[in-house]
């Protein structure tokens, strides 16, 4: 079953484990989930209130239902 999941965060969250930092993906685009791969950089110029779809590294705007 396919699902559409909306992620609104544009940056990872830092989690400290044993004195080391680990960055957890919050944008949903990471290629190294659950860790951040830096893919969130593609989201930085998104406009508030708009919905976007990312596929194969390309972004397209989607109409909200």
Q: Does some domain include residue 5?
A: no
Closest Cα to residue 5, out of 36, 30, 27?
A: 27
pLDDT band at 2 (very low <50, low <70, confident <90, very high): confident
pLDDT exceeds cutoff 80 at 63: yes
pTM value is 0.83
* Mean local confidence (pLDDT), 43-47: 95
Q: Does some domain include residue 58?
A: yes
Q: Does some domain include residue 1?
A: no
Q: Does some domain include residue 2?
A: no
Question: Which residue range forms the structural domain that includes residue 21?
Answer: 13-62
Give burial (CB, 10 Å; 0-12/13-18/19+) of 18: exposed
Cα–Cα distance measured from residue 44 to residue 47, given in angstroms and rounded to the nearest whole number: 9
Q: Does some domain include residue 49?
A: yes
Query: What's the number of domains the chain is made of?
Result: 1
Q: Does some domain include residue 44?
A: yes
Q: Does some domain include residue 7?
A: no
Q: Does some domain include residue 33?
A: yes
pLDDT band at 1 (very low <50, low <70, confident <90, very high): confident
């Amino acid at each position: 079953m396919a699902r559409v999941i909306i992620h609104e965060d544009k940056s990872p969250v830092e989690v400290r484990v044993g004195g080391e930092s680990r960055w957890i993906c919050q944008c949903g685009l990471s290629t190294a989930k659950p860790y951040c791969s830096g893919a969130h950089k593609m989201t930085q110029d998104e406009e508030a209130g708009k919905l976007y779809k990312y596929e194969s590294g390309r972004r397209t705007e989607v109409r909200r239902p």
